[in-house]
Amino acid sequence: MTASTTPRTHPELIAALRADLGEAPFAVDAVRERLGDLAANALGREQSLPARRAVAGASDPLGILIGCFGLGLPTAADDLARALPRTGVTGAVTLGIVEPQGAHVVATCDLRPYGDDAGGAWWVASDPTEHARSGPLPVDHVLGIGGASSTLASWTPRPRVARALDVGTGCGVQALHLSGHADAVVATDLSRRALGYAAFNAALNEQDWDLREGSFLEPVAGEAFDLIVSNPPFVITPRTADVPLYEYRDGGAAGDAVVAALTQQVGAHLAPGGIAQLLGNWESVAGQDWRERVGEWVAASGLDAWVVQRDVQDPAEYAALWSRDGGHLPGTSEHEALVGAWLDDFEQRGVEQIGFGVITLHRPTSRRAPFVDLVEATGAVASPMGPAIAAGLVARDRLAGLDDDALLDTAWRCADDVTTETHAAPGASDPHVIVLRQGGGLARSIRLDTLDAALVSVCDGELTARQSLTAISALLDLPTGEALGAGAGLVRRLAADGLLLPG
């Protein structure tokens, strides 16, 4: 099954629609206020009933727009004409965003306001969501704003750049974010329907993107960019005829080969100092740590790499998630057949775990060995994470150029968001557990031994690490060389994640 329509980019009607949406006002905060917290929160969990109740019988433009474009409710043509006075019902039909059904109209797309923490405010059109349609999604479904796209947007650093690339743009969510800090935005996608939505969203939000049809990096052969982002079709899908291959999530390759290839090939398109930010899934077979598998990809890239695994699922969890994602309801024979196909595929290939995470790649500006940092952080992190990623790349780039002697001859201070936490047995005079905690960034929690705790306690930007460790080694009756070696390792780890900063 395929979707049937894609919005059209009629300049005069797009301008009229933009003015109507702005006047409503069809904006993030206004929609939340109109629905109320309960209904807005439920809709964020894809529970639409409270929102439908909140706009039932609506006569105000905002309530009408929410019901029509956000919830997919049949809307009286006269009501839509009142909500879109410049566009009109005829204009909305011409744009391909609604279709008539007697005295009513029904939206052919999901259209909603969207914003970011930097003050960006946009409208995003995509195919209707699951709660606005009956039955499974069509295989050429164009996804809108989802958990993965929000994660990528949050984790992407936002330096001012000349050229940015969005690989697998879909409806253009990442391109909207890039438009706020890139002089030129190029976006690629294999799906012609996705590019149609991206063109509509660019026009509606007065953006000028260079949209190119093609697979992954093929449309930008020979070109370099300062920032590349990609929420690729990374879902690991069984290659069997009875499993639907959704364009938005399946890249046409077995296992995790899509993410592996993108990780290894993206460096050819990064300018010196350029950053690539990718999402992905990766598999681990019996006895294999995920770092082994992803480590092979980043080693082949030749780039600096900082990979954070955010979640791990076993094959049954993964199968249930993605069988449900396409609209196949648990308990149905179709859903059980899909889960079975996933379980068979993982069993045949010996896959025991599937990881999800964020891959940050960086092309150094100097000739040095690349750094590789593969870590796990499954808890809450800063939001947005982009500033922490940017700072972490700067720190790792600097550390990669420092040997231990230079590191020890630097004065360090604790970041403002760092605290220590001590635990002692009842009645004990000294703590037996000391934990260093980071309030922002990856929210690191690091257990310290006595030497570590003593060093961190005097990191105030005055003494160098060497001076501090020399004094501490005498107090603890440790060989100075041993203390310096252990201390250098600790400083390198803490400075990479921003717990320690140069004094």
Helix and strand numbers (H, E) in the chain are: 19, 19
- Give the pair of three-digit tokens for residue 386: 């982009």
- Give the pair of three-digit tokens for residue 15: 């301008």
Residues 216 and 233: beta-carbon distance below 8 Å: no
- Secondary-structure breakdown of the chain: helix, strand, coil percentages, each rounded to the nearest 5: 40, 25, 35
Closest CA to 47 of 57, 39, 36, 35: 39
Q: What is the pLDDT of residues 169-186, one digit of tens each?
A: 999 999 999 999 999 999
Q: What is the predicted pLDDT for the residue at 137?
A: 84
With bands split at pLDDT 50, 70 and 90, how would you rate the model's confidence at 3? Answer: low
- CB proximity list for 456: less than 8 A, separation 6 or greater: 414, 420, 436, 448, 490, 494, 500
With bands split at pLDDT 50, 70 and 90, how would you rate the model's confidence at 26? Answer: very high
User: Given phi > 0 = left and psi -120 to 50 = alpha, else beta, which region is 301?
Assistant: alpha
Q: Greater confidence, 381 or 252?
A: 381
Strand extents, DSSP E, 52-159: 75-76, 98-101, 104-107, 110-115, 121-126
pLDDT above 70 (res 164): yes
pLDDT above 80 (res 220): yes
Beta bridge partners of 491: none
Query: What b/e sequence results for 275-302 when a residue is b if at least 16 CB atoms lie within 10 Å of its CB, and e otherwise?
Result: bbbbbbbbbbeeeeebbebbeebbeebe
Q: What is the predicted pLDDT for the residue at 4?
A: 65
Q: Which of 324-333, 428-437, 464-473 has the lowest mean pLDDT?
A: 324-333
Beta bridge partners of 375: 308
Q: What percent of the chain has pLDDT over 90?
A: 89
Residues 381 and 387: beta-carbon distance below 8 Å: no
SS3 405: helix
How far is residue 298's CA from residue 265's CA, in Å, rounded to a whole number? 10
How far is residue 39's CA from residue 43's CA, in Å, rounded to a whole number? 6
Q: Greater confidence, 279 or 326?
A: 279
Q: What is the predicted pLDDT for the residue at 1?
A: 42
- Count Cβ atoms within 10 A of the Cβ of residue 399 and give its class: 0-12 exposed, 13-18 middle, 19 or more buried: middle
Q: What is the pLDDT of residues 326-381, one digit of tens each?
A: 778 888 888 899 999 999 999 999 999 999 999 999 999 999 999 999 999 999 99
Closest CA to 260 of 239, 283, 243, 277: 283
Strand extents, DSSP E, 135-240: 161-167, 182-189, 210-213, 225-230
pLDDT above 90 (res 46): no
SS3 193: helix
Q: What is the predicted pLDDT for the residue at 131?
A: 72
User: CB 27: neighbour CB atoms within 10 A?
Assistant: 18
480 sits in which H/E element:
helix 480-496
pLDDT above 90 (res 201): yes
Residues 184 and 210: beta-carbon distance below 8 Å: yes
Q: What is the predicted pLDDT for the residue at 241?
A: 75
Instruction: State pTM to two decimals.
Output: 0.95
Q: What is the predicted pLDDT for the residue at 118?
A: 85
Mean pLDDT of the chain: 95
Mean pLDDT of 65-75: 97
* Domains in the chain: ranges and CATH: 11-132 (no CATH), 147-401 (3.40.50.150), 404-502 (1.10.10)
How far is residue 9's CA from residue 95's CA, in Å, rounded to a whole number? 7
Query: What b/e sequence results for 429-460 when a residue is b if at least 16 CB atoms lie within 10 Å of its CB, and e otherwise?
Result: eeeeebebebebbbbbebebeebbbbbbebbe
